Structure 1
Amino acid sequence: MSLKQRHGLLASLSIAVWLCTFPTAHAEISPTELDRLGKDLTPTGAQMAGNADGSIPAWSGGITKPPAGFDPNKGYANPFASEKPLYTITAQNVAQYEQFLAPGQIEMLKRYPTYKMKVYPTHRTMALTQQEYDDVKAEAPSIQAAPNGLGIRNLKKSTVPFPVPKTGLEVVLNHEYRNIGSSFQREFVIFPVQSSGSFTPIKWFESRTYGKVLPDNPPSIVVYYLQRTLSPSNVAGEAVLLHEVFDNTSETRKTWTYNPGQRRVLRAPDVGYDTPQFNSDGMATVDSFEMFNGVPDRFDFKLVGKKEMIISYNNYDMTNKSLKYTDIVKQNHLDQELPRYEKHRVWVVEATVKTGMRHVYAKRMLYIDEDTWQIAHGDLYDARDSLWRVQENHSINLYDVAIISTAGQVDYDLQARRAFVMFLANEEKPVRYDVRPRSYYSQENLRRTSN
C-alpha cells in the first residue's frame, strides 16, 4: 500500500473510535453539552471513560503534585520510571500497528531502520487547576470563532474555549489557547541537524506574558512575546517582539525585529504563516512553531473524527539535566531510546489551503490529544500531495505548576533527510514564572535592552 493510499485509508476510517459529521460553522455549546463536563466528559472535554480493551484508562484527575524528591534543577522526575515497554514498534512489525499510527510515523519507521517507538502503559496525566476548569465551563457558552478563521471572540480566561468542538477550526483554536503558562521566561535551544547528524545549538531566551494576568491590559491583546538569540556569536543579539491579538478582523498581530548589525528596531508585518522559521535553515515555517500557531485564516479545517493513536507522551526522561544535546540528537532522528510512547485518543483535523490563499504546505494532517488539546503529531504535504515534513511533539505534564508543555519538538524534513529540533532545555536553567509588565514588551525596551 502506498503512502498516499495509507493516508486515505486512515482518513476514511474516521477514525476507529468515533465517526461523526460536524457542521462547518460555529455552533454554540448547548446546556446539555455543558452539563456533560465533569461527568461523561472531563472538565476540559475529553472522554472520561477508557476504551473498550482497557489500553486507554479512564481519566481520574491526572497528576496534581510533584513526586517525592522532585528537583527542577535535575529535570522532571519520571513518576513511571519503573515501567517497562509493553512492545516496541519497528519497520519489521509496523503493519501490526498501522491502524494506530499516522502516515508520517509509518514513513519514519520504514525510512530509517534505527527509528523505533517504545510503547508504554498509558497514563492520562493532564491536570489543570479547579479555577481553570471553572473558567472553561463559565466562558464556553459565549466564546465564538471569528469569521474566516481570523481569531476568537469573548474569551477572557478560558484555556479550552471549545470543550465540545463542532469544527476543525475549534479544535485548532483549543490547541492555540491551551494552558502553557500565564507568564514565564525560559531558555532553550533550537537547531537544524545536518544529514550527518552534526548540529550547532542556537540558544534562545523567551519571555511570554498573557494579557489576562495584567491589570492594565487592553482587551484586544492575548499575549506579549519577546525572543532573543543568545548564542552562537554570529546570530547573538537578534530579537523578535510580538503582540498577539484575539480578533484579527479589527486589529492585527504586531511584530517587530531587532537586528544587531543595524542596531535598529523594525516593524515586521510579514513574520508569520509560511515565513521560514528563524535559524531553521528553511526546514520549518513560523506557523509550525509549537506545531501550529498564529492566525488560522489560510486553511480550511475539516474535523475528520477521533481515533486511538500511539503518540509521544509523558516524556519525563527527556528532560533529565544529566543529558547532553549530543545524547539526545542522533543522525536522522532523536535517540529513540528516550521518547516514551503511549496510546491515547486524538482528534484528527485535515487542514487544506483555502482557494485564493497561498502556503508552502498545501495540506496539514493534525492529530490533537483529547486531554491536553495539544497537537501531538503533524503530517505536512506539499502541492503535489506528497508527504514533505513530519512533526513530532514530545509532550510532558509540568506537574509542579499544572501546565502541559513539551520536552522537545522535531520537524523531520523527508525530502532533505534532515531535522529541525526545538525546545530542548537539558543544559539550560529551569523555567521562571515571573509576571513581566506591559512596558517590558515595548519597542522602547526592546531597543534599550538590545543595544
Structure 2
Amino acid sequence: MASANYRSATRECRGELAVLKPVVILLMAGCMMHAQAQVTPAQAARLGQDLTPLGAERAGNAQGTIPAWTGGITQPPASYQPGMHHPDPFADDPVLRVIDKSNMAAHLAQLPEGLQKLLEQNTNYALRVYPTRRSASVPERIYAETQRNATTVELISAGNGVDGAASGIPFPLPQNGLEAIWNHILRYRGEQLHMVTNRVAVLANGSYTLLKLDRDIRFNYGREGMTPAELNNTLFHYKYRVVSPSQLSGSALVIEETLDQVMAIRKAWRFSRGERRVRRLPTLAYDSLQPDTNGMATADMVDAYNGAPDRYEWELLGKREMIVPYNSYAVHQQGIPYEDILREKTVNPDLLRYELHRVWVVEATLRTGHRHAYAKRRFYIDEDSWQILVVDLFDKQGELIGLQEAHPINYYEVPVFVSTLETLYDFKDKRYFVDGLDNNEPMYDFNVRLHPRDFTAQALRREGN
C-alpha cells in the first residue's frame, strides 16, 4: 500500500543521511520534509477551543467586521427541501458598500491584486460587499479526524505526499505554504456526487457556446471509515460525459486522482466521439490544457489548484483580512437564464456576493528549470473551510495576467462548503471561463451510489455509446 511504501522510503532516506557529510545533508533536506518541527499536543489542544475544529480563529476581529465562528450552518432554512437549489439564508442582508474603479483606492489593502485589475479593466464591474457570515461547516467526524491529524500527519516524498491521514484536514495548524495548499487539496467535499453543470468560454466579443457535462465523483480521501492503508494513494475517481452541444455529445473523460502524483501520475482516459474509441492520455497535469475548456484552463487549475506541488516553491505569507467571494447563493438560484449570468466581459456582478474574511495567503513561485504558463500564483485560502477563494496569476515577466475565483456556498444536506461557480479571467486576451453553471439543471446528488468500477476505461466506453 502507498502508506507502507512512504514509510519504507522515509526509513531509507534516514539511513542514507546518517552516513553523509553535513553539507550533503543540507542539500538533501527535501528528503526529510517530516523532520521539521511538529505541532505539539498543547498546540493541537487549541482546536475546538480558541481555534475552530479546522484551525481557524474562532473569535471575530477587533473591529467587529468579522464575527466569531459559531459552528457555521448546521441546519438548512425551513423552506429547504432535498433536491432544491439551496435557498439563500442571507437574502435579507444589506449591501454594506459597493467597490468599483472609482473608489477602489480606499480598499486596496483588502483587495486581492487580481480583483483590483478586474475593476480597472471593467468600468461597469463592481464588488457588492455584504456582512460577513461564517457559514462553513462539515460533519462532526471530520472535526474529530482533523484533531487526530494535528500531531501525527507528516509531509513526505519531498512534500509531494502526505502520510498518516485518510480524512480530515491534515495540517490544521500549518507551518508552511505546502501544508496550507495540502489542506485545500485534501479538504472535505463529500463522499460521492452526481451533478449536471455547464462550462463556457466567453470570448472577447461576448460570444460563447455552453458545454453541458454530466459528472460523477467518488471520493476516497474523506470517506467514512477510510484508513491510510486502504487509501492506496488514491484521492478520488472522476468522470464526465458531454451532453451538449450535439456535435460533441458522447465524448467523455475519466480520471483516477492520485495523492502523490510524483510517485504515481494521475491516470486519465478520453473517449472521443469522432474516433469512437478510448485512449489513455499520456499526461493531464501541471500546465497541460484541460479538455473541453477552449484552451483556457490548465490541468492544475481545476478546483483552483490540484495535483503535484513539485514545480513550485511554496511560501506562507500569513493571514490577512481580505474581500473575497463568499455565500454565493444568489448566483446559484434555480431558473436564472444563463445569458443573465454571462455578460460580455465578466460574470454579472449583480448576482455575486463578496465578504470580508480572514484568509491564509500562500505564494507559489515556479522553480528554476521547470515550465508553466504561470510563473507565480498567489492563493487566498479561507481560514474556515480551506477552500481557495481567489488566485492571482502572473507570467514569467511578473505581469498579472489572470484571476481565478471560487464562489462558494454551504450545501446544507452534507454539510460541505465548496464552490458553486468557478471563474477564470484572462486579462491579456480579455476573455473569461466559467465552470459550474447549474441553474437550469437538476441539483447535485450527494447520495448517489458509485463504485470504483464505474470509473474504468470500459465504463468510459459505455458512457460514450
Equivalent-residue separation in structure 1 for 2:71 and 2:402 (angstroms): 35
1:80 and 2:93 matched: no
Query: Alpha-carbon deviation of 1:73?
Result: 4.9
Equivalent-residue separation in structure 2 for 1:241 and 1:119 (angstroms): 39
The 8 Å contact of residues 368 and 376 in structure 1, kept in 2 or not, is answered as yes
Letter in 1 for 2:78: A
Match of 1:441 in 2: 455
Equivalent-residue separation in structure 2 for 1:72 and 1:337 (angstroms): 27
Determine which of 343, 346, 350 is the counterpart of 1:337: 350
The 8 Å contact of residues 153 and 246 in structure 1, kept in 2 or not, is answered as no
Determine which of 200, 203, 217 is the counterpart of 1:208: 217
Deviations 1:279-318 (A, max 9, x none): 2222221111111111111111111111100011001111
Equivalent-residue separation in structure 1 for 2:157 and 2:322 (angstroms): 31
1:110 and 2:120 matched: yes
Q: State the Cα RMSD in Å.
A: 1.8
Equivalent-residue separation in structure 1 for 2:157 and 2:234 (angstroms): 18
Equivalent-residue separation in structure 1 for 2:303 and 2:72 (angstroms): 23
Q: Which runs of 5+ in 2 are unaligned?
A: 1-31
Equivalent-residue separation in structure 1 for 2:342 and 2:33 (angstroms): 41
The 8 Å contact of residues 298 and 357 in structure 1, kept in 2 or not, is answered as yes
Match of 1:406 in 2: 419
The 8 Å contact of residues 188 and 425 in structure 1, kept in 2 or not, is answered as yes
Distance 1:435 1:144, change over 3 A: farther
Deviations 1:266-285 (A, max 9, x none): 11131111112222222221
Query: Alpha-carbon deviation of 1:218?
Result: 5.6
Equivalent-residue separation in structure 2 for 1:348 and 1:182 (angstroms): 28
1:29 and 2:43 matched: no
Query: Alpha-carbon deviation of 1:249?
Result: 4.8
1:193 and 2:202 matched: yes
1:445 is paired with a residue of what secondary structure? helix
My pick for the range that moved more, 181-190 or 132-141, is 132-141
The 8 Å contact of residues 345 and 369 in structure 1, kept in 2 or not, is answered as yes
Determine which of 379, 383, 391 is the counterpart of 1:378: 391
Letter in 2 for 1:401: V
Match of 1:16 in 2: none
Match of 2:139 in 1: 129
Deviations 1:229-286 (A, max 9, x none): 1111222222111112223354332221111222222111311111122222222211
Larger Cα-atom Rg:
2
Letter in 2 for 1:195: A
Match of 1:3 in 2: none
Deviations 1:386-421 (A, max 9, x none): 111111111111122111121211100000011001
Distance 1:215 1:78, change over 3 A: closer
Q: Which runs of 5+ in 1 are unaligned?
A: 1-22
Match of 1:429 in 2: 442
Determine which of 349, 362, 372 is the counterpart of 1:349: 362
The 8 Å contact of residues 359 and 380 in structure 2, kept in 1 or not, is answered as yes
* Residue correspondence of structure 1 range 390-405 to structure 2 within 5 A: 390-405=403-418
Equivalent-residue separation in structure 1 for 2:83 and 2:338 (angstroms): 16
2:87 is paired with a residue of what secondary structure? coil
Distance 1:249 1:295, change over 3 A: closer
- Normalized against structure 1, the TM-score is what? 0.91
Count residues with an aligned counterpart: 428
Letter in 2 for 1:109: L
Equivalent-residue separation in structure 2 for 1:61 and 1:234 (angstroms): 47
1:173 and 2:182 matched: yes
Determine which of 72, 76, 83 is the counterpart of 1:66: 76
Determine which of 129, 135, 145 is the counterpart of 1:119: 129
Deviations 1:316-346 (A, max 9, x none): 1111112011111101111111111110000
Query: Percent of aligned pairs with the same residue?
Result: 37
1:142 and 2:183 matched: no
Equivalent-residue separation in structure 2 for 1:58 and 1:113 (angstroms): 35
Determine which of 97, 104, 113 is the counterpart of 1:94: 104
Equivalent-residue separation in structure 2 for 1:412 and 1:250 (angstroms): 33
Match of 2:240 in 1: 227
My pick for the range that moved more, 244-253 or 28-37, is 244-253
Query: Alpha-carbon deviation of 1:197?
Result: 2.1
Letter in 1 for 2:455: Y
2:350 is paired with a residue of what secondary structure? coil
Deviations 1:123-164 (A, max 9, x none): 100111111111111233222223333232222122x11100
The 8 Å contact of residues 229 and 238 in structure 1, kept in 2 or not, is answered as yes
Distance 1:436 1:365, change over 3 A: same
Query: Alpha-carbon deviation of 1:187?
Result: 0.9
1:270 is paired with a residue of what secondary structure? coil
Equivalent-residue separation in structure 1 for 2:38 and 2:247 (angstroms): 51
Distance 1:214 1:316, change over 3 A: closer
Equivalent-residue separation in structure 1 for 2:293 and 2:452 (angstroms): 29
Match of 2:300 in 1: 287
Query: Alpha-carbon deviation of 1:112?
Result: 0.5
Distance 1:67 1:368, change over 3 A: same
My pick for the range that moved more, 105-114 or 279-288, is 279-288
Equivalent-residue separation in structure 2 for 1:280 and 1:443 (angstroms): 22
Letter in 2 for 1:306: K
Query: Alpha-carbon deviation of 1:435?
Result: 2.9
The 8 Å contact of residues 33 and 156 in structure 2, kept in 1 or not, is answered as no
Equivalent-residue separation in structure 2 for 1:206 and 1:230 (angstroms): 10
Letter in 2 for 1:105: L
- Normalized against structure 2, the TM-score is what? 0.89
